[in-house]
């Protein structure tokens, strides 16, 4: 497990709080913010963006990852997911699969609500058996 110091956790938390306010959630009113830490120490963030056709909704976690990829980053060591519930929500199944694509199994997933970080788990705990594409020979 990667050890994150308090200052890094606080930066991730504050960034997720900031971008959560920009969430577009007119249907569910469930705003989510996310911030990730790259292997070079950079932070990228995302919020959820809903759509009337719910299948087209994009979660905060995937938006944070996409924002980092746009900037050429593809190696991440931690991600924070911030929801409004007393017991923080966890990433959906699609986000778990995408997280498993970009993070090592021992990377940290921080689960938070607006009061602070409530839980730390590993990517391997989030999705123990991710789908892995096997190229044919």
State residue 2's pLDDT score.
75
List the strands of the sheet with 33-38, edge to edge: 43-47, 33-38, 76-82, 103-113, 116-122
State residue 137's pLDDT score.
63
Q: In this structure, what token pair is assigned to residue 99?
A: 């997280």
Angle between helix 93-102 and 60-70 (nearest 10):
30
Q: pLDDT tens for residues 96-128?
A: 999 999 999 999 999 999 999 999 999 999 999
State residue 136's pLDDT score.
72
Q: In this structure, what token pair is assigned to residue 62?
A: 């995937």
Which residues are annotated as catalytic? Answer: 61
Please give the domain boundaries of the chain with CATH numbers for all domains.
6-126 (3.40.140.10)
Longest Cα–Cα distance in the chain: 51
E-strand spans in 9-51?
Answer: 33-38, 43-47
Within a 13 Å sphere around the CA of 130, how many CA atoms are in the beta-carbon half?
21
pLDDT beneath 50: ranges in the chain: none
Determine how many CB atoms are found less than 10 A away from the CB of residue 115: 8
State residue 134's pLDDT score.
85
State residue 8's pLDDT score.
97
């Amino acid at each position: 497990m990667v050890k994150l110091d308090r200052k890094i956790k606080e930066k991730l938390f504050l960034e997720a709080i900031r971008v959560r306010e920009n969430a577009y959630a007119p249907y569910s009113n469930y705003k989510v913010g996310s911030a990730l830490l790259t292997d070079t120490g950079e932070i990228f963030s995302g919020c959820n963006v809903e759509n009337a056709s719910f299948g087209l909704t994009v979660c905060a976690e995937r938006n944070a990852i996409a924002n980092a990829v746009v900037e050429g980053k593809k190696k991440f060591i931690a991600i924070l997911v911030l929801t409004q519930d007393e017991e923080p929500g966890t990433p959906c199944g699609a986000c778990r699969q995408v997280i498993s694509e970009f993070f090592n199994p021992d990377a940290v997933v921080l689960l938070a609500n607006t009061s602070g970080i409530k839980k730390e788990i590993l990517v391997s705990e989030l999705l123990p058996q991710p789908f892995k594409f096997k190229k044919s020979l």
